[in-house]
Structure 1
Amino acid sequence: MSVLEALAQVLPSGQISTNETIRKQHSSDESYHTPELPDVVVYPKSAKEVSEVMKVAAINRIPVVPFGLGSSLEGSVIPYQKGITIDFSWMNQILEVLPDDFLVKVQPGVTRKQLEKELKKYGLFFSVDPGADATLGGMAATNASGTTSVKYGVMRDQVRDLEVVLADGTIIHTGSMAAKSSSGIHLNGLFVGSEGVLGCFTELTLKIHGIPEEMMAGRATFLTLDDAVEAVIHMLQAGIPVARVELVDEQSMKQINQFNDTTYFEAPTIFLEFHGNEAGLKQDVAFAKEILHDHECQDLAFESDTALRNQLWEARHNTAYAYLHHYPGKKQMVTDICVPVSKLADAIKHGRKAVDASGLPGGIVGHVGDGNYHILMMIDVNNPHDLAKANKVNEEIVSFALACGGTCTGEHGVGIGKTKYQKKEHGEALEVMRKLKTALDPKHILNPGKII
């Protein structure tokens, strides 16, 4: 019996596709890595159907790649060994909102904005915002974070429980609904960030938060990167509860002005946001202003009006589009590292020099509150010289990050783009990861070639 015949026995025909257009749609992500078509794409509707697909794959030793929306940035969902791609877009139900427990249960295909819309009815929100309207299953798979992680934490901090289908089709739960537990090995931490190499997520129980009474957004411009980063460090040391704090470098501010027709100062700029009640927020903002001015802040603006606050953040969120619009025909190579916050200014200056030396147009943005920054480089993916230059920049910034106790990726994931740095970063611990992979997936059929 062929694999297609076996799949036809466990899924209706409308949930199986070998159409070339469909396969092309599942051959790549948002990265610059070379696409590869899967042999077949399946669209399960339940954990049981995913389990049956995995059983077919295990019997036939067929590679399986879980797929959300393809918004990953390191080739995590590209099926380089072909096989079966499991598209979770049909598993997109918000199963239960539990407002008294501050929890929500969702299927993996639910998107961030879909959940946001539903939670507003309850006066609640989900804190992780990676920018893209990614699926929650994909966000858990890459341990996504984003602009609010400085206050609320990353994806791993929001996951209470996962329903996971293992390589042999076994269905397990990794946690519970309890706020804490000392029982057993922490499987949530093992599976979140595993990028589909250990199992397929079919249900997630996530922590949610009350919408703050008041929000205040601000923009602060500095003469130097050192001043900007030191101002943030001192705000955090002072205990000011910053909800978002984002750094945009001078080159990126120029692109933002051109794209949005704005007239912001073209210098290192920090975008801030504070959440709280009215009285507390006034005190926090006043204290923050003192610290910002102590660090030679050149221009400072705060907005509490929702429309003006959103307009302020639009500039930061549109940075990538600003570059794409200015360099038509080119594609972005986006890479990220994370370092101790005390090393961030040096890391960004090092990264800026590396980009300038490459001759590639590009900018730097960063989640300055947690030491994570991104480089956006515009390249011609068909030009091997551009690719070589971009890879050289990537190598240089990763080496810098690892040398000062950081990591090769703060939130994009490893995929295939950063597998080569795993041994240098993790040492003998990489062998432990490989043993775990082999124990859970002895035939190595789950997203093969990724991470380890």
Structure 2
Amino acid sequence: MNAQQPYPMPVQAVLDELRPLLGDRLSTSLAEREQHGHGESYHRSQLPDAVCYVQSTEEVSCIVKTCAKYGVPIVPFGGGTSLEGHVCAVHGGICIDLSRMQRILAIRPGDLDVTVEAGVTRQQLNTELRTSGLFFPIDPGGESTLGGMAATRASGTNAVRYGTMRENVLSLTVVLADGSVIKTANRARKSSAGYDLTRLFVGSEGTLGIITEVTLRLYGIPETISAAVCTFPDVASAVNSVVSIIQYGIPVARVELLDARTVMAVNRYSKMTLDEQPTLFFEFHGSPAGVAEQIEQTQAIVEENAAVGFVAAADADARNALWKARHSVHYAMQSMRPNGRIWSTDVCVPISQLTPCIIETEKDLAQASFFIAMVGHVGDGNFHLGLVVDPDSKAELAEAEALNNRLVRRAIALDGTATGEHGVGSGKIKFMELEHGAGAVNTMRLIKQALDPQNLLNPGKILPGDKASEVGLSLLAGEALD
């Protein structure tokens, strides 16, 4: 168990009741608990007391009912790719690993939708869809599960054209805190019937219920896909180009910013030969004539903004290599300091405020004592910093925290958000009232209390006021809770 425990914790009683159901799919081994006590970020691992590998909604329901009976906390776990401490077991308890729920339940080409279990990954789904001429466009990177993507309201490089999980989830099957199972909606593309429960659970990070099935929108694979790379003398010129492209209504599918440090890291890690200058990656979808027009319009705009080069790449292999390198940016940044950990942040601002926000942020980067790189889904105003810190250095962690605080406050002051896609987890709880106001946060608390009165579902996440989640920064430097 974790050292500080405000909950009654008869974990042994829970384990005794669950072993006949799960057998060897119930583990208390230290190695498996450690694997499930963290995501891929700087947050210190906080271990659950046991891990349950589930295979059905019915098993999840049974586990939740048992935990509710004994007052034991529950932490859902998908691919383990989260970046804000979502899966850290702040109060110990039972981790429910949904990664083995990998059935694709129904593909409906005529309706352009699909229903999958929560453990299916976006890569698995798109492999299955390939022969149908359809695809699912949301791609946050990593081997993310679709249940986890719904729980964190994920997006990614295609969001500028296809939206986020919020726009692409039609319905969910959810296990509530008492173990009951609900379906949030039918498959109609619109409805005015009652509260929008689907949107309530999308982005709730496992704090209101555990998502076990997801029904998603699908799209036809574009007739033509083309990519382009464009370099600039400075980041401001690149961002100004993107703002103009979006304001002109050019329907780019992807537009990604990499600053010079990111390009350097990508070249080393992915064996690329890109010019180490601020760079935009583009992708265009549509008919041959439509894509040609998008490229022509985009090239004209970037050249007006001092673009150094604009190289189109219609070849599929070259295009795939480009996006594979982009999706490996997290690991490329980390490779610049092998013993470091990435403190990743992801603010989002209105598109008109993107240039001033990034220009001010660059001033902070120039003064940092450790490697920092910038990358962004700038077509929707979202950008990330990868702060590569020594997790054992209190000085570096304090510097990173101060830089992150300035960035988030800057974004919120520009009518933006503390997190465009990573979610709140435990890492960004302290910004919730600043962004939403006390009244809105109190309304969220009322919803949480109504759906999870014992506060057993992923406690210590999203909402301020949980003392165990407020010690997060001391945990970063390896200090134990007293």
TM-score past 0.5 threshold = yes
Equivalent residue letter for 1:136: L
Matches of 2:393 and 2:304 in 1, distance apart? 47
Shift of 1:260: 4.0
Shift of 1:261: 4.4
Check if 1:435 corresponds to 2:446.
yes
Q: After superposition, what is the alpha-carbon deviation per residue over 1:404-433, rounded to whole angstroms, capped at 9, x for unaligned?
A: 100000000100000011011111100000
- 2:308 alignment partner, SS class: strand
Matches of 1:260 and 1:152 in 2, distance apart? 27
Matches of 2:426 and 2:229 in 1, distance apart? 36
Residue in structure 2 matching 1:446, options 436, 457, 476? 457
Q: What does 1:165-244 correspond to in 2, within 5 Å?
A: 165-244=175-254
Q: What does 1:25-424 correspond to in 2, within 5 Å?
A: 25-424=35-434
Q: After superposition, what is the alpha-carbon deviation per residue over 1:354-400, rounded to whole angstroms, capped at 9, x for unaligned?
A: 23323121110001100000000111111111111111111010010
Shift of 1:198: 0.2
Matches of 1:333 and 1:98 in 2, distance apart? 40
**Greater Cα shift, 331-340 or 342-351:** 342-351
**Greater Cα shift, 240-249 or 327-336:** 327-336
Shift of 1:51: 0.9
- 2:46 alignment partner, SS class: coil
Aligned residues of 2:64 and 2:179 also touching (Cα < 8 A): yes
Equivalent residue letter for 2:432: Q
Matches of 1:108 and 1:72 in 2, distance apart? 15
- 1:302 alignment partner, SS class: strand
TM-score calculated relative to the size of structure 2:
0.91
**Greater Cα shift, 364-373 or 338-347:** 338-347
Matches of 2:276 and 2:28 in 1, distance apart? 50
**Greater Cα shift, 322-331 or 373-382:** 322-331
Matches of 2:22 and 2:45 in 1, distance apart? 28
**Unpaired segments of 5 or more residues in structure 1?**
none
Matches of 2:416 and 2:426 in 1, distance apart? 19
Shift of 1:92: 1.1
Matches of 2:230 and 2:341 in 1, distance apart? 30
Aligned residues of 1:162 and 1:201 also touching (Cα < 8 A): yes
Check if 1:8 corresponds to 2:13.
no
Q: After superposition, what is the alpha-carbon deviation per residue over 1:139-166, rounded to whole angstroms, capped at 9, x for unaligned?
A: 1110010000000000111100000000
TM-score calculated relative to the size of structure 1:
0.97
Coordinate RMSD, CA, aligned: 1.3
Shift of 1:304: 0.6
Shift of 1:55: 0.8
Matches of 2:93 and 2:203 in 1, distance apart? 22
Matches of 2:65 and 2:227 in 1, distance apart? 50
**Unpaired segments of 5 or more residues in structure 2?**
1-11, 464-482
Equivalent residue letter for 2:449: T
Matches of 2:40 and 2:333 in 1, distance apart? 15
Aligned residues of 1:348 and 1:364 also touching (Cα < 8 A): no
Matches of 1:187 and 1:42 in 2, distance apart? 27
Equivalent residue letter for 1:435: L
Matches of 1:40 and 1:321 in 2, distance apart? 29
Aligned residues of 2:45 and 2:88 also touching (Cα < 8 A): yes
Matches of 1:438 and 1:102 in 2, distance apart? 36
Shift of 1:343: 1.2
Shift of 1:315: 3.6
Equivalent residue letter for 1:220: C
Aligned residues of 2:185 and 2:198 also touching (Cα < 8 A): yes
**Greater Cα shift, 426-435 or 382-391:** 382-391
Shift of 1:335: 1.0
Aligned residues of 1:64 and 1:85 also touching (Cα < 8 A): yes
Shift of 1:279: 1.4
Shift of 1:8: 2.8
Matches of 1:258 and 1:132 in 2, distance apart? 19
